Amino acid sequence: MRAPERAPAHHAELYAQLVDDARTAERLGFHSLWLSEHHNWYDGWCPALLVAGAAVLAATTTLHVGTGVLLLPLHDPERIARAGSTLERLAPGRTELGVGLGYREPELDALGLSRRRRGARMDRALDVLAQEWAGGGPQIWIGGIAERSLERAARRGLSLFLPSSMRPAQLARVLDGARQAAAGHGVELGRVGVLKQAWLTDGSAAEERRARSAIAQDIGEYGGAWWRLGGQRGFAAPELLGAQMRRSASTAAVGPAEAIVEELAAIEALGVDLVVLQLADHDSPAAYRENLQQIAADVVPQLA
């Protein structure tokens, strides 16, 4: 839902495309469509996921809508509870609420929220949602790989929503840890979802280079602008930022169908039951749709 510097767009057009893309994804057999949240950014990054999600749910009949992730501490939990209940009524059982802490100080400061209190606000919000949705509500996924996030999910028996840049060995370690922690609390961990930057190529090295470079550029843009690396803004620490860009590019599932199938199968073997593909390099909606269709035709059947 962004109109970044490299890809000008009218936002009303982006939201219309979102609904079209949702219908396409449903027709192609995808399980869900996921949206992510940020605020006060020049590219118009979607700040109100459940509002956008309602448009998608109303246009589809089986597709789920997920938030990957909704920054729960930035919201009034009672309002989120009501929004989730509204979606549940409009489209029963089709909302997946992935939640994260948020980290950008300008977003927190705009609302007068202390960065230090994010965790406490998250816990309170999860309590509110558990209470309000005791009779049924969206499934909750806890985003992030910080120790406390994993512990939070384990203690409550919630699902995990893990970021794209993990290698299989790290993913295995994290999952083991979370499952053990859950067992320690006498509960079973919920489902496990993994976000994966991806792009299906024609197998050529040039196409692969282009896609990985687009992923690196994207991370470079907001990592440089938002992240603190070695105590400085990302752009002021080019070496550290470069390392992050390379990591994101190298951990993305980019390549011909066989390569992507192999990568996703390895993830699935760890007990991950949902992979959310974030299609890189989709500055043109046409290219995005074509890639989505190709993935549905060439990758998905081989995983089933």
Residues that bind other proteins (CB under 8 A): 1, 3, 11-12, 14-16, 18-19, 39-48, 50-59, 75-76, 79, 82-83, 85-87, 89-90, 104-106, 108-116, 228, 233
Which CB atom, from 139 or from 213, has the smaller least distance to other proteins? 139
For the CB of residue 270, give the shortest distance to other proteins in the complex, in Å: 35
Which CB atom, from 69 or from 257, has the smaller least distance to other proteins? 69
Our CA dihedral for 275, 278, 279, 281, rounded to 10 degrees, sits at -150
DSSP 93-151: T-EEEEEE----HHHHHHTT--GGGHHHHHHHHHHHHHHHTTTS--EEEEE--SHHHHH
Strands (E), the chain: 32-35, 64-71, 95-100, 139-143, 159-162, 192-200, 228-229, 232-233, 253-255, 274-279
Which CB atom, from 57 or from 260, has the smaller least distance to other proteins? 57
Q: What are the backbone angles phi and psi of residue 114, rounded to the nearest 5°?
A: -80, 135
Instruction: Kindly state the tokens that stand for 34.
Output: 């996921």
For the CB of residue 208, give the shortest distance to other proteins in the complex, in Å: 33
Give Cα 160 to chain centroid, integer Å: 11
Amino acid at 208: E
For the CB of residue 33, give the shortest distance to other proteins in the complex, in Å: 14
Which CB atom, from 186 or from 231, has the smaller least distance to other proteins? 231
Which CB atom, from 40 or from 62, has the smaller least distance to other proteins? 40
Nearest to 139 by CA among 101, 84, 178, 183: 84
For the CB of residue 169, give the shortest distance to other proteins in the complex, in Å: 33
Total residues belonging to the chain? 304
Name the DSSP class of 230: T
For the CB of residue 143, give the shortest distance to other proteins in the complex, in Å: 20
Which CB atom, from 124 or from 179, has the smaller least distance to other proteins? 124
For the CB of residue 3, give the shortest distance to other proteins in the complex, in Å: 8
